Structures are given as C-alpha cells and as structure tokens.
Amino acid sequence: MLQETQERGNCPIFVLAETVLFLHLLWCAWVVLGWTVTRCRPLLRTLHIASLIYAIVVELVPWLPCPLTVLETRLEARAGIEPANGPFLVHVFDAIIYPDLPQWLVVGCAVLVCAAILGVYLHRYARRAADSRW
C-alpha cells in the first residue's frame, strides 16, 4: 500500500492532478475572499465580479461543468485515482467540514455567499456613485 502511494506521488499525472486540485482551492478562495483586496483596484474589482457571476452560473447550470473539475477528474482517472463525481465544493465540504449534507444545500449556500458578495459590491456602488469614487 505504501509502495503504491509512493509510486503514485512520483507519477507526473498524479502531480498534475494535485496541482489542479490546489488551483481549484485557490479559485474558491479568490471567489469567496477576493472582495477583501478589490477596494480602490478597478481591474481586480471587475475580475472579481466576473468571477462571482461565473461561479454562480457554473453552480446553477447543470450542463455547464466547471473546467477545473473536468480537468481534475480526467487527470485523477489517468493517474489511477478514483475520481469524484459532482461539484467540487460538495466533495470538499463533505470530506472536510460538513459530512452528510445534501448537494443542493451546499450548492445553494455557495450561490448565496456569491450573491451576498455581489450585494456588497452593489452597496459600495450605490454609496459611492454620488461621490464618483467607484
């Protein structure tokens, strides 16, 4: 068993799959926490708002899978790892934080968080529109 795990760790496909998993986690962190670094940075703000909208669409539209999830699944299958099925967030939260929560609840909460962050931007815009400080 240990030998098999060590061999997998040396496999370039396995390393690539783990790298994509790490990038996926970074993406999720950007979507959730990006608002904290966008003040007075119009380019970052625009990218973050686009990221939020994209995240909501990917979570809600069943026929539009997240490209990182698709790539991760393919790489895991090629590396000999049993790939996870379904949205990335469901597997992360199921495995780490919220075991036994239904998929609709995890996805719904993710969408609500993204919508709330968009609400923060809308509030900032409404408050600063008169001052021309957006």
User: Cβ(79)–Cβ(17) under 8 Å?
Assistant: yes
* Domain residue spans of the chain: 2-129
Q: For the chain (length 134 residues), average pLDDT per consecutive 10?
A: 49 83 89 91 95 93 85 84 64 60 84 94 84 64
| CA distance between the termini of the chain | 57
Whole-model pTM?
Answer: 0.74
Whole-angstrom distance, CA of residue 91 vs CA of residue 98: 10
Whole-angstrom distance, CA of residue 32 vs CA of residue 110: 9
User: Cβ(83)–Cβ(77) under 8 Å?
Assistant: yes
